[in-house]
Structure 1
Amino acid sequence: MRNSHGPAFKKAVIELGECPLCRGRAVTQGVFHELPCDHWYASGWVIAATGEALALDELVTQLSMRLQAAKRQIEQLKNSQASRPEAVYQRSNRRGAGGTNFTGD
């Protein structure tokens, strides 16, 4: 174990799980309408390993990290779809007569 002084250089990602009461929806069904979940700050998320609630500031940080990871994954999927052969075929290349699309077929 290494000795260290001060905070870590990178924030650790905590694995999150769904709240067992609201099943991750952040609301529970009342008699006539939905109510905020009484547990875990009405977020619907708990620590997956222990089932305990996170502190509010830590919850915001962890959800932001998950959102950023999801955005990166969406961008990677968009970029991989744009380079597929059928996407290149459908995209206008303006090489035809009058600047129309020419596919060579």
Structure 2
Amino acid sequence: MKKSHGPAFTKLMIDLDQCPECRGKAVIGGVFHDLPCGLCNASGWVAAATGEALALDELVTQLSIRLQNAQLHINELKQPRATGPEAIYQQGNRLGAGGINYTGD
């Protein structure tokens, strides 16, 4: 068994699932108006393994981690990558005069 002191160096992602009671909407329809969901602390998310609501500080951390991963994925999709023969022309190889791109044309 490995000894450890203090908190972990990295925060692990907890698998989240939509709240079964409010179906991820964070509110439940009342008679006259919407009420905050009590099962998920009005967040719409619960721990997938246990089905219990996360503490608010843990929930904010987990949602922030997911948002950062989604933003990274979106930024990767926004930058198209050339493939095939086009990739040779798109990337700089610094073989030309003055260190510019040389394509051999």
The answer to whether TM tops 0.5 is: yes
Deviation at 1:84, TM superposition (A): 5.5
Deviation at 1:33, TM superposition (A): 3.0
What is the CA deviation profile of residues 41-77 of structure 1, one whole-angstrom value per residue up to 9, with x for unaligned ones? 1001110011011111101100111111111111111
- 1:14 aligned partner: 14
Q: TM-score, normalised by structure 2?
A: 0.72
Segments of 5+ residues of structure 1 without an aligned counterpart are 86-105
Considering fraction of residues, name the structure with more helix: 1
Q: Distance in 2 between matches of 1:38 and 1:10?
A: 30
Segments of 5+ residues of structure 2 without an aligned counterpart are 84-105
Residues 39 and 52 in structure 2, CA contact (< 8 A), matched pair in contact too? no
Q: Distance in 2 between matches of 1:5 and 1:17?
A: 31
Read off the aligned partner of 1:46 and give its amino acid letter.
V
* Percent of paired sites with the same residue: 64
Read off the aligned partner of 2:45 and give its amino acid letter.
W
Q: Report the count of equivalent residues.
A: 84
- 2:48 aligned partner: 48
Matches within 5 A, 1:1-105: 1-80=1-80, 83=81
What is the CA deviation profile of residues 63-95 of structure 1, one whole-angstrom value per residue up to 9, with x for unaligned ones? 111111111111111113xx459xxxxxxxxxx
Deviation at 1:28, TM superposition (A): 1.2
Q: Over aligned residue pairs, what C-alpha RMSD do you find?
A: 1.8
